[in-house]
């Protein structure tokens, strides 16, 4: 039975009442809440944790274990500490000012979500080590390198058809598309792997060092493989439709679906927590094999989750790099399938339109994090 009062001195009991309300799946914002409750622990959870639980309740019915994990967590990394609810107790002259949790930024809530997700990934136990399928010895082999997202998307389909990479004298297919897209793919791929800076900062550093990201530099990839297997077995493929034929499979492959920038942003945040929980190699496997499938199930339902675009200040640099890559590939004389001119990004008005994101949206990242936390199909929640 909830008693309704409005005296300021019962603020803490009001806060405990709100905790109970949220734990039961309630969605009432703190400022509209007036019921009282009994203390359930040694301290009140922070405003960030409580508001994240409210957002989870607004979007679905979180597993009780997930709700408990959210309330027991702390925001990951540097930033504001656990904040108190405004009106939940007497104003202290010390500590950060209490807040209305509804006014917290999406980024603050993502810090909590990242911490809980990292715990879930680890608590589900070590990943089984799968034996890679062996290619048939009688077939001409292939390897897909280059743009990591494109290569992974195509390879996955070939493996599903019983055509794993490797094999007899494999043909090296350096796959790619325009350099701006490949750069965004390389960022997302690293976010689900070894970790990466924020998109804008990463681009800035690449530019200052005049470096292209690993995987997006098709000329460098082709040279590496040329040294290993000889030029005749290396082909640059800018037309993905040519891949099945070159890989010795006649059937068409579907165009790979790419994750929006917000997926990479969430993985980046989760990865920074994982770095403190498991060794780097295990962390990368957890991100790729455990988090990525969960994110993939929800990323395209998130309103405002968009492909990443290169901000205007970096476009001239990428154009120049793409032009040099185009000339280098042509001069080196590699077999090319597709049009080398496609390497050079063509900036259209679309790049600056609301359909393309020049940085991951914090709100969409939070929405994605909430959906992933609510994921019913996840088989890796703690305790399951």
Partner 1 sequence: MTRRVLLHVGTPKTGTSYLQDVLFRNKRTLAENGILYAADRHDAHFLAALDLMRLPWGGLEREAVGAWDRLAEQVRGWHGETAVISHEILAAASRAQVGRALASLGHERQGGGVEVHLVLSVRDLVRQIPAEWQENIKHRSGMSYRRFLARITDPTRNSRIASWFWSVQEIPEILDRWGADLPPERVHVVTVPSPGGAPDLLWKRFSQVFGLEGMDLHLEEERVNPSLGVPETALIRRINRSANRVLPPADYRPLVRELLAHQTLSRRVLSPRLALPPEQVPWVQEREAAFVAAIERRGYDVVGDLHDLRGNAGLHPFVDPDKPRERDVAGAAVDAIKALLLETARMRAEEERLRAELDETRDALSRSYLRPSYRLREKAVKGLTRGRVGRGLLSVYRLARGRSSRSA
The site for partner 1 (CB under 8 A) is made up of 42-43, 45-46, 72-82, 92-97, 115, 204-205, 208-209, 272-273, 275-280
**Rounded least distance, CB 68 to partner 1, Å:** 12
Q: How far is CA 197 from the centre of its chain?
A: 12
Identify whether the C-beta of residue 289 lies closer than 8 Å to the C-beta of residue 315. Answer: no
Query: Sign of torsion, CA 148 149 150 151?
Result: positive
Cα separation, 88 vs 62, in Å, equals 25
**Cβ-based nearer residue to partner 1, 104 or 221:** 104
Question: Which of 76, 321 has the CB closer to partner 1?
Answer: 76
Q: Are 94 and 357 in contact (CB under 8 A)?
A: no
* 3-state SS track over 175-213: ECCCHHHHHHHHHHHHHCCCCCCCHHHHHHHHHHHCCCC
Nearer CB in complex with partner 1: 104/218: 104
For partner 1, the closer of residues 93 and 131 by Cβ is: 93
Rounded to a whole number, what is the distance in angstroms from the first to the last CA of the chain? 33
CB closer to partner 1, 168 vs 324: 168
Q: Going edge to edge, which strands form the sheet with 140-146?
A: 140-146, 168-175, 234-237, 335-337
Q: How far apart are CA 237 and CA 215, in angstroms?
A: 13
CB of 58 to partner 1, least distance (A): 23
Please give the Cα distance from 132 to 119 (Å, whole number).
28
Minimum separation from the CB atom of position 174 to partner 1 (A): 26
Toward partner 1, which CB reaches closer, 105 or 257?
A: 105
Minimum CB distance to partner 1, residue 43 (Å): 4
Tell me whether residue 129 or residue 279 sits nearer to partner 1 (CB atom).
279
Rg (CA), the chain: 25
Shortest distance in whole angstroms from residue 112 CB to partner 1: 11
CA–CA distance, 189 with 264 (Å, rounded to integer): 8
Q: Which lies closer to partner 1 via its Cβ, residue 5 or residue 278?
A: 278
| Residue 195: CB minimum distance to partner 1, A | 9
How far apart are the C-alpha atoms of 174 and 182, rounded to whole Å?
A: 12
CB of 114 to partner 1, least distance (A): 10
Measured distance CA(88)–CA(30) in Å, rounded: 10
Kindly tell me which of 9 and 93 has the beta carbon lying closer to partner 1. 93
Closest approach, Cβ 5 to partner 1, in A, equals 26
Nearest-approach distance from CB 26 to partner 1, in angstroms: 22
Q: What angle do CA 55, 57, 60 make, to 5 degrees?
A: 110
Query: Which tokens go with 282?
Result: 């295990």
């Amino acid at each position: 039975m909830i008693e309704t009062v409005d005296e300021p001195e019962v603020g803490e009991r009001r806060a405990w009442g709100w905790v109970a309300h949220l734990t039961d799946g309630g969605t009432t914002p703190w400022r509209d809440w007036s019921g009282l409750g009994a203390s359930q622990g040694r301290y009140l959870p922070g405003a960030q944790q409580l508001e994240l639980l409210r957002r989870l309740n607004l979007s679905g019915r979180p597993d009780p274990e997930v709700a408990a994990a959210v309330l027991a967590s702390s925001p990951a990394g540097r930033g504001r500490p656990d904040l108190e609810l405004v009106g939940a107790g007497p104003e202290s002259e010390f500590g950060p000012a209490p807040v209305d949790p509804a006014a917290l930024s999406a980024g603050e809530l993502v810090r909590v979500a990242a911490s809980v997700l990292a715990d879930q990934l680890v608590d589900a136990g070590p990943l089984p080590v799968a034996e890679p399928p062996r290619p048939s010895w009688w077939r001409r082999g292939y390897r897909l390198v280059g743009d990591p997202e494109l290569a992974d998307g195509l390879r996955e389909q070939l493996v599903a058809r019983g055509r794993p990479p490797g094999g007899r004298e494999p043909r090296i297919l350096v796959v790619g598309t325009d350099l701006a897209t490949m750069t965004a793919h390389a960022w997302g791929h690293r976010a689900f792997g070894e970790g990466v800076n924020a998109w804008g900062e990463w681009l800035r550093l690449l530019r200052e060092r005049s470096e292209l990201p690993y995987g997006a530099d098709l000329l460098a990839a082709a040279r590496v493989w040329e040294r290993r297997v000889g030029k005749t077995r290396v082909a640059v493929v800018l037309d993905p439709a040519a891949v099945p034929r070159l890989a010795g499979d006649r059937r068409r492959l579907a165009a790979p679906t790419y994750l929006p920038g917000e997926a990479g942003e969430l993985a980046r945040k989760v990865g920074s927590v994982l770095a403190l929980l498991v060794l780097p190699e295990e962390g990368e496997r957890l991100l790729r094999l455990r988090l990525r499938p969960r994110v993939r199930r929800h990323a395209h339902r998130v309103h405002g989750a968009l492909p990443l675009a290169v901000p205007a200040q970096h476009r001239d640099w990428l154009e120049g790099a793409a032009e040099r890559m185009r000339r280098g590939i042509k001069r080196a004389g590699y077999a090319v399938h597709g049009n080398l001119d496609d390497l050079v990004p063509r900036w259209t008005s679309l790049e600056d339109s609301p359909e393309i994101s020049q940085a991951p949206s914090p709100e969409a990242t939070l929405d994605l994090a909430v959906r992933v936390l609510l994921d019913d199909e996840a088989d890796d929640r703690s305790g399951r």
